[in-house]
Amino acid sequence: MIRNVDLPSFLYEIYNNHFFEVFKERRINNLYYDDIDFNSLMDNTDGLSEREKFRIRWYGNTFENSNKQFEVKSKSEFLNTKKVFKIGKYKIKDFNDFNSSFENLCSYLRINEPNLLFHIENKSLKVFNTYLRKYFLSRDKEIRITIDDDLEFYSPLTKSVFRESDIVVEVKYNNDINFLNNFNQLTICKYSKYVKGIISTSFHNPLY
């Protein structure tokens, strides 16, 4: 993570270390689902090597007509995988309309991916987040860096809103890459947007 005031310096370091921007900055929106016992949340905070996370993601303005996708992120030891399912184009009108996405998701899975339906039927929406993302790639194309700014979280359970004061930086690379943190502004730490959203907007506060 980096402080907001350090972003210009960090961007200078990125370019100076031969990274280049690969996509135009865009807004990312996520709806995270979990069961009544918050098992996905607890698996994350407990550091279990086998865990899954379920979300609906879309790009662009939060409340515009846009393509939505269902993502299942799985972790098994050191292997991370993500399955993506295109569930259709529709508009979410406002914060109170988020539940319509779950109905659309279940309808899609019932027809197209019935084996996945039981994974989501016992779950409900726990938190929404949105942020602006910049994308960078190293010159040798081995290391990817994303910068997430303007992070906002909303809980449908408490109606609370939380705005992150810092900027989240993710460094992604294969296990055989030896990454050295040569960035003066970058502090390496554990950060899950789903976990951060829960503990910042609700009374459910696991050790993290």
Architecture of domain 2-201: Alpha-Beta Barrel (3.20)
Contacts of 177 (CB under 8 A, 6+ apart): 142, 143
Structure tokens at 84: 């993506």
Regarding predicted confidence, which is higher, 208 or 200?
A: 200
Q: What whole-number distance in Å separates Cα of residue 27 and Cα of residue 169? A: 15
Where in the chain are the domains? 2-201
Q: What is the pLDDT of residues 47-78, one digit of tens each?
A: 665 678 999 999 999 999 999 999 998 877 66
Residue 82 near residue 71 (C-beta atoms within 8 A)? yes
- Collapsing DSSP to helix, strand or coil, 112 comes out as helix
pLDDT at 24: 93
Nearest-5° Cα angle at 141, 135 to 142: 100
Q: Is the pLDDT of residue 115 over 80?
A: yes
Q: What is the pLDDT of residues 10-36, one digit of tens each?
A: 999 999 989 999 999 999 999 999 999
Q: Which helix (H) or strand (E) holds 126?
A: strand 124-138
pLDDT at 206: 55
Structure tokens at 100: 């319509």
Q: What whole-number distance in Å separates Cα of residue 207 and Cα of residue 63? A: 33
- HSE (CB half, 13 Å, CA atoms) of 201? 23
pLDDT at 188: 80
Q: Is the pLDDT of residue 79 over 60?
A: yes
